[in-house]
Amino acid sequence: GQQLNQSPQSMFIQEGEDVSMNCTSSSIFNTWLWYKQDPGEGPVLLIALYKAGELTSNGRLTAQFGITRKDSFLNISASIPSDVGIYFCAGPYYGQGGKLIFGQGTELSVKP
Amino acid sequence: DAGVIQSPRHEVTEMGQEVTLRCKPISGHDYLFWYRQTMMRGLELLIYFNNNVPIDDSGMPEDRFSAKMPNASFSTLKIQPSEPRDSAVYFCASSLGQTGYTFGSGTRLTVV
């Protein structure tokens, strides 16, 4: 079945460093979504990608929809302590309406 | 809009007791989803509704779990009888069409 694999599983970085994480699948996705979950809260949508090759930014965050449609990347520039949390990629199950599948998440820790 | 509202935020119950989790989706959203999050299994989709009708309940663990959506502004997830392995954070999310979800803050369930 469809699966999303995220890497790395966790990252420990220094404040000010850039961060890169990715999400891959053996299946093609027509939409890629990136969410962030703060401790004790639900995931919040950061960026949505709808077209292969698309590069979209949201402040210090930049995400790309891979050309093969089987991967996506999220970059965070000049990290700050409030970037701490779990980042999830997600995509719609093929032919199943609004149902989303989520990756396992990348847990980011930022040292001041 | 107040977002997706879940109650209670925390629930501690004894094994064998009935537990009811509640969700109020964003007004106008036509999809509602129930997810469970654990360290071991990540975010798992339990069931989702479209226009108050259950579409896919294949993720519901077993007959002890049931979900209802009597109207467009309210849904419940019930566990009867509860077991320690049901301990997790349960999220409700809603969306308009197949756009990205908005999650609630979750209910942290502990079954002792």
Peptide linkage before B8 cis (omega within 30 of 0): yes
**B11-69 per-position pLDDT tens digit:** 999 999 999 999 999 999 999 999 999 988 889 999 999 999 999 999 998 899 999 99
> Could you give the CA distance from residue B99 to residue B85 in angstroms, rounded to a whole number?
32
Residues of A in contact with B103 (CB under 8 A): 42-44
Residues of A in contact with B42 (CB under 8 A): 102-105
> H-helix or E-strand containing A24?
strand A19-24
Nearest CB to B106 within list A35, A42, A92? A42
Q: Is B33 in contact with A97 (Cβ distance < 8 A)?
A: no
**B70-99 per-position pLDDT tens digit:** 999 999 999 999 999 999 999 999 998 866
In this structure, what token pair is assigned to residue B12?
């501690």
CA-based nearest residue in chain B for residue A46: B100
Give the three-state DSSP class for B8.
Answer: coil
Nearest CB to A42 within list B42, B56, B105? B105
Question: What was the pLDDT predicted at B97?
Answer: 80
Residue among A94, A105, A7, A25 nearest B37 (CA): A105
Cα B76 → chain centroid: 7
Cα B68 → chain centroid: 10
**Radius of gyration of the CA atoms of chain B, in A:** 13
Instruction: Give the per-residue SS3 of A39-106.
Output: CCCCCEEEEEECCCCCEEEECCEEEEECCCCCEEEEEECCCCHHHCEEEEEEEECCCCCCCEEECCCE
Average pLDDT rounded to a whole number, residues A46-63:
94
Question: Which amino acid, residue A77?
Answer: S
Mean pLDDT score of chain B:
94
Residues of A in contact with B50 (CB under 8 A): 97-98
Phi, psi for residue A81 in degrees, rounded to 5: -55, -35
